[in-house]
Homo-oligomer: A and B are copies of this chain.
């Protein structure tokens, strides 16, 4: 006999009306973002070639609550509030005394949490009269989401997709094209940044750092075009906080409290989305909810990187941000969790890490897929390769409870489904999926080459 399904659903009118800005509650302000030419803090006008003013103001805001525009909430209604499940069948399979909950963001049209920000960014750009957006995408989750959002708001969307993912994930490209976007493998010959990389290495498999350079370059060249980033920046983390706010209300419905909240972390936005509202509550109410960011051992930004000023891209076109980084020249191996292949980490997440407000842990991809298959067989949902990291950590926390005989509540963000990434599962079952090591010498060199910043 099967167990009861325990799903917590909020009514539509409980979609948050405000995004939560963790900057308002941090005990210490994050370091300013610096202009690469002057080394001086950037002002809103420096960012104007890239972003519409509403987004720039969100980037630098210290207000605790920022209202979600009604047209954005209207689009959110297509899939939000997203469900929160108690993983009863997984608990049983593990024989754990822990209570495992997961917030499921895979119910969105593109199958991940990314539309939470894509819809907001497309809206603000449309309001500002922008006609075209450029962006980069790693695994393709962000690209698909911006393609979807751009279509809704009548914007053209050009997407530079990291080549290794472009090759590994043809279904993602098909989805972007179905939504009417143009998808270009990066590095490409369309941009000076792309051509420079290809000149050095014609077989480059690309990276998020390169793809960002290409998208930024194309945006600054055209009057009617702006750039949209799918993670890392403050406003992106801001938009994702509806995840944590909803989860908090759903945990109340469950009459339970998470002891630990888990998210995978590449650029940091899905982790921020579920964790920031809990960080704020910890700080305001003196609670001790643990926040755990999980990253791939092959691209271990928080666990092996340096907290320092660095560029967001390979061509050094972006401003300098203080963050955990492996160095903008670091090239991670081609793991299936393409969305976690980024050398840097959200400055806000990095700052929270630096202040000791969150923890971080890394895993190899094989142990992540083992966990994901166990999860899929118990819960019926196949996690995206990125989300497998959160699943692994949640299972390990639950097994720790079992070993200790304790009963804790574990909440994780299942940030997306793996429907477009089934090649990874095929490889896993065929024994072709391998643990990947980054190049230690390259990491050292990349960290040695971090830019020197006067302000530090």
Contacts and interface: CB of A to CB of B under 8 A. Distances in A.
A184 to B, nearest CB: 15
Contact of A89 (B111, B152, B373, B422): B152
B170 A78 contact: no
Interface in A172-187: 173-175, 177-180
Contacts of A170: 422-423, 426
B178 A425 contact: yes
A179 B422 CA distance: 12
Which residue, of A170, A380, A429, has the highest number of chain B Cβ atoms within 10 A?
A: A380
Contacts of A2: 71, 74-75, 152-153
Interface stretch (A3-11, A197-205, A327-335, A347-355): A3-11
Interface string A1-32: 11111010100100000000000000000000
A109 interface: yes
Contact of A5 (B7, B75, B153, B174): B75
A420 interface: yes
Contacts of A9: 12
Interface in A347-384: 373, 376-377, 380-382
Interface string A412-444: 000001011011011001000000000000000
B420 A381 contact: no
A251 interface: no
A381 B144 CA distance: 12
Interface residues of A, number: 46
B5 A178 contact: no
A446 interface: no
A124 interface: no
How many copies altogether? Answer: 2
Given A419-B111, A423-B174, A429-B177, A12 B7 contact: yes
A7 B75 CA distance: 11
A160 interface: no
Nearest to A372: B178
Contacts of A85: 78
A78 B380 contact: yes
A147 to B, nearest CB: 10
A107 interface: yes
A382 B152 contact: no
Given A148-B380, A152-B89, A420-B419, A425 B7 contact: no
Interface of A: 1-5, 7, 9, 12, 71, 74-75, 77-78, 85, 89, 107, 109-111, 148, 151-153, 170-171, 173-175, 177-180, 373, 376-377, 380-382, 417, 419-420, 422-423, 425-426, 429
19 contacts: A2-B71, A2-B74, A2-B75, A5-B77, A5-B78, A7-B12, A89-B152, A107-B107, A109-B380, A109-B381, A152-B380, A170-B422, A171-B171, A171-B419, A171-B422, A175-B419, A175-B425, A178-B429, A179-B377
